[in-house]
Amino acid sequence: MASIGGAVKDFRQLDLMATGNTGVHRLDARAKVLVTLVFILTVVSLGKYELAALFPFFLYPAVLMALGNLSARYIARKVVVVLPFALMVVLVRLGPLGISGGWLSCASILVRATLTVGAALILVGTTGFPAICQALDQLGLPRIFTVQLLFLYRYLFVLTEEGGRTARARELRAFGNKGLGWRSYGSLISHLLLRTWLRAERIHLAMLARGFSGEFHPRRTTRFGGRELLFLAGWSGLFLLFRLVNVSQFLGSIVTGVLG
């Protein structure tokens, strides 16, 4: 019960971060979405053994977290939750880690997972999920896709809140450890499904009563101007440089040359 409620409250922290008023928050969401997309594509396009080439890409999340006043500890905790899934992918793809280059490839995949998931979390923390959906709609994605994506995000909280209430009711009726066996989970899940479905219908009716017609109503109005163009061109150019030039190797050769 406490874990579900704590997880919902913790996840809502991203929405609270998105209400900031820094320069990064005020940028048009389309610029941030495009920069994040370029960042992810350049990171995942690197070879599986190019570990050193990945480290310069940490500049982007570090700068964005500093300029957006985001909690580095919070972002790190969310990234750590995803890393076990990336490790499972590594084990499936590589098999026994005794193979040649296996450990290097494993580290490369984990670093790429850290960078891409961190960039996605920073995007949500500086933009807000509704604004991201609106940006995707403005960039040409089908309206039905962006609306369904927004509803998925909204109803995820409905599901977790109802799950917390159901778990609380189950514990209060359990009288210690009685009634907490595996057999109770079948009825628990079915009740959770029904409760979530009914509440989602009530929310949808309330939205229709307030005039919802599938249009996005952002919290703040922005436009794609010169700052956004500079943000997009600057970061995209830097990512392309990191992709084409191994900056870590280049700096290492300069340092060893000077010391030698």
Q: What is the pLDDT of residue 184?
A: 65
At 31-52, the pLDDT tens digits run: 999 999 999 999 998 877 778 8
pLDDT tens for 120-132 read 999 998 988 888 8
The predicted pLDDT at position 10 comes to 64
Residue 118: pLDDT band (50, 70, 90) is very high
Can you give the pLDDT at residue 142? 87
Read off the pLDDT of residues 70-86 as tens digits, 9 standing for 90 and up.
888 888 888 888 777 76
CA-angle at 196, arms to 199 and 175, nearest 5° = 115
Query: Are 129 and 15 contacting, i.e. CB atoms less than 8 angstroms apart?
Result: yes
Residue-level pLDDT at 101: 53
Q: What is the pLDDT of residue 6?
A: 56
State the average pLDDT for the chain.
Answer: 79
